[in-house]
Amino acid sequence: MKSSIIRVRIAPSPTGFVHVGNLRTILYNYLFAIHEKGKFIIRIEDTDQSRLVPGAIENLLQSLQWAGIEGEEGPYLTKDNKVKERGEFGPYTQSARLDIYNTHIKTLLDKNKAYYCFCTKQRIDDLRDEQRKQKLPPKYDGFCRNLSKTEVQSLLNSGTPHVIRFKMPENKQVIFEDLIRGQISVKTKDMDDYVLIKSDGFPTYHFANIVDDHLMKITHVLRGDEWIASTPKHALLYEAFGWHAPVFAHLPVLLNKNGKKLSKRDGDVSVQDFIDKGYLKEAIINFIALLGWNAGTEQEIYTLNELTKQFSLDNVHKSGAVFDVDKLDWINGMYIRKLSLDDFYEQCLPYLIEAKLIIEKNKKLVIKDTGEEIKSSYLKNILALEQTRIKKFTEVGEVLEFFFKKELDYDPKKLVWKKSNKTDSLKNLKLLEKLLNEINESDFSSENLKKLITALLQENNIDTGSMLWPMRYALSGRDNSPDPFEIAQALGKEKTVERINLAITKLM
């Protein structure tokens, strides 16, 4: 009987870290389930024992926890990082369901919908080679399809290695509806008698997947478009059992900027790669949600709660979605701007330590280059200058490096404004040094500095660039940096005067 409650599942294989494509499929299933007040189930498909990666299940569940996505049924992590299961349709790990698959394969054998195949690997390889030479599609030739019961039993009794194949109906039109792509039709003459049970006794994905989806009352299957070609096989298997098939929806492929399918050759593709590079969770989820879906509005920034309210399969695209890192950077920058200064500080601190600009010593923060202790309030003042500029946290070490250097190393020629000269630049820096020395530390704010230096420019008839460019370069040693008044305030009077003095020395 068809379930009245929408039930969706994710069924990853524990063969590596979570790919951005996996996360997109997971996210869409979760959003669809929550939006429709349905159930989101986690299932582990570990039938390919040769490809299992230790720790991959834990990594998957940790990634879901990190993303704020929780399954109502299936495996979960306990507080002490142990994998346990919950739900009434378990086990939710395929390797623990072998007895279930054995029972159901017997049903197909008894109904003459499947058959034993005793062909050796060598025969199959030779067959494939011959088909390639003749430019024919590779498919099993049905050699064992019509063995008699006596022949089959004799081979089984002798322990001959075997697989079990699906008996593909001949000259049949397979038609199924896809919620995203509409009606899809395939002829069985182009399809293979595919393997259901492998020689090691484990089911193939195609078999276990259908049995599990039926027994777990899955109503909707949302998965990547690479599974479209397999769906006719699955539809026929449901029919062979006499079961009602779930509704299918195949999500658009993820593409690189060249329009090719996104792959490991394109660089970072695992979710952990992007976390390590300094992208916020909220930004990654927001970005991935937009890879193939939009609400039909101009909105581009979404919280997870907003996504669950607005998500609909009606707005999922058919065409491929381009994985544009520049767009991810922009979204991440928007989320960084929303952080409180305290949260921004907490996020940036590990990256400043990783960049070896500051170190932790006796539970205190110390500038590595100078050995002096640095207070969190001072560090926050520095970080505040870049919060509206950086796009990811890995940039913070590079853009703020000049704050943590004992002495800046730069070409003195860089101190000279393009419309000025060395003599005037030196004269202007000396005027600036004199003014800065006269300002009290308590008055060393960016607003006051701007007011006093602007007055200095007017009194001496100096154009803005001829004074502020050498000031900026003396304080940062960079062509691009924050406002010089803000830099001076963050550095404080003593360090600001020191750097202006160094610039004067370099020009003399």
In angstroms, rounded to a whole number, what is the distance separating the alpha carbons of residues 186 and 188? 7
Helices (H) and strands (E) in the chain, counts: 19, 15
Is 264 among the catalytic positions?
Answer: yes
List the catalytic residue out of 257, 264, 318, 364: 264
User: Two tokens at 447?
Assistant: 């607003």
Query: Residues of 59-96 as b/e, b for ≥16 C-beta within 10 angstroms?
Result: bbbebbeebebebebbbbbeeeeeeebebebebbbbee
Q: Going edge to edge, which strands form the sheet with 195-197?
A: 114-117, 163-166, 195-197
In angstroms, rounded to a whole number, what is the distance separating the alpha carbons of residues 328 and 330? 5
**Residues with Cβ < 8 Å from 153, sequence gap 6 or more?**
none
Q: Which helix (H) or strand (E) holds 76?
A: strand 74-77
Q: E strands of 215-294, at which residues?
A: 220-224, 247-251, 254-255
Burial (0-12, 13-18, 19+ Cβ within 10 Å), 380: middle
In angstroms, rounded to a whole number, what is the distance separating the alpha carbons of residues 159 and 327? 58
User: Two tokens at 465?
Assistant: 């660039």
In angstroms, rounded to a whole number, what is the distance separating the alpha carbons of residues 199 and 492? 74
In angstroms, rounded to a whole number, what is the distance separating the alpha carbons of residues 438 and 59? 59
* Residues tagged active-site: 264
